[in-house]
Amino acid sequence: MKKSITTICTALLILVLSTGMALARNGKLGNFSGTNSAGTGTALIAYEEPSVVEIDALTYMVEEEKLARDVYNLLDTTWGIPIFANIARAEQKHMDAIISLLDKYGLENPVANLSAGQFANSDLQTLYNNLISAGQDNEEDALLVGATIEDVDINDLLHELQVVDNEDIIKVFENLLQGSENHLRAFCSLLAIYGYDPYVAQFLTQDEIDTILAAPQTKGKRGSMTSGLSTPLDRVPRQSRMLDADGDGICDFLQQ
């Protein structure tokens, strides 16, 4: 009888261990960001006090990812094109990955109590309002808004990767960059399928846009933007996005 009990217990232990390993392989255990691959493994990276620049990068980028999610959700409601709902879900994962880092460092989450379409950063609030307005007229403009958001996001992530040095922040930002490159390719592909004019670079250089579009959709380590990057000084600073030279209430870049 004792032998039978021992055999049963051993079998159960093997079952539990094998199940745990399977869950771990699927990212359901031991994942700092839950089901979000963008933050996978960051809990294993040693804690390093973030700099003021890194804190600013995290708090700004989580709002920028929220902006993308909120715009896509609203454009999905307006136009019903599946790409908006699909990428909105991905943007939520991007947010979750950054929030995981905010939690790790004991930093305030600026989007914790904000409803859809609300932003603590006034520039992002203006940008959101402008993007929503620009995407309401027709499907082409809505898809161009999607490509513009990814252009902005990639530009900002490339800038932040020049100024942050904590290993876990770099890991998450690089994964977010890869995702945004995939999203840009998806929007530009759909513009082509629908027969619309191709997207023209607003924040990245056109060469950088072309490099991204020429690369395949990627998983794992990012690979399309490994060389030929312009310096941070060449990139459109955040405050310059809100320029409205003609005073019509619409950001100038949305009217180019």
16-73: per-residue pLDDT in tens? 333 333 333 333 222 222 233 455 556 667 778 999 999 999 999 999 999 999 999 9
Does the pLDDT value for residue 153 go beyond 50?
A: yes
Q: Which one is predicted more confidently, 10 or 21?
A: 10
- CA dihedral of residues 195, 197, 198, 201 (deg, nearest 10): -160
The CATH homologous superfamily of the domain defined by 50-255: Ferritin, core subunit, four-helix bundle (1.20.1260.10)
In the chain, the percentage of residues whose pLDDT exceeds 70 is 68
Region of 166 on the Ramachandran plot (φ > 0 left; ψ -120 to 50 alpha; else beta) = beta
Does the pLDDT value for residue 94 go beyond 90?
A: yes
Spell out the residues 6+ positions from residue 52 whose beta carbon is closer than 8 angstroms to its own: none
Tell me: the pLDDT tens digits for 166-180? 999 999 999 999 999
Half-sphere exposure of 75 (CA within 13 A, CB side): 35
pLDDT band at 219 (very low <50, low <70, confident <90, very high): confident
Phi, psi of 200 (to 5 degrees): -110, 135
Does the pLDDT value for residue 195 go beyond 60?
A: yes
Query: Does residue 138 contact residue 191 with C-beta atoms inside 8 Å?
Result: no
Does the pLDDT value for residue 245 go beyond 60?
A: no
Q: Which residue has the tokens 């989580």?
A: 62
Does the pLDDT value for residue 100 go beyond 80?
A: yes
Q: Which residue has the tokens 């030929």?
A: 228
- Give the chain's mean pLDDT: 80
For the segment 177-195, the average pLDDT, to the nearest whole number, is 97
In the chain, the percentage of residues whose pLDDT exceeds 90 is 66
Please report the pLDDT score of residue 246 as a whole number: 61
Every domain of the chain and the residues it spans: 50-255
Please report the pLDDT score of residue 47 as a whole number: 78
Least confident of 55-64, 109-118, 144-153, 246-255: 246-255
In angstroms, the CA 180 to CA 156 distance is 11
What token pair was written down for 98?
């950054």
In angstroms, the CA 154 to CA 135 distance is 20
Please report the pLDDT score of residue 218 as a whole number: 82
In angstroms, the CA 124 to CA 239 distance is 10
Least confident of 11-15, 134-138, 240-244: 11-15
Does the pLDDT value for residue 11 go beyond 60?
A: no
SS3 49: coil
What token pair was written down for 69?
């999610």
In angstroms, the CA 45 to CA 100 distance is 13
Spell out the residues 6+ positions from residue 223 whose beta carbon is closer than 8 angstroms to its own: 178, 215
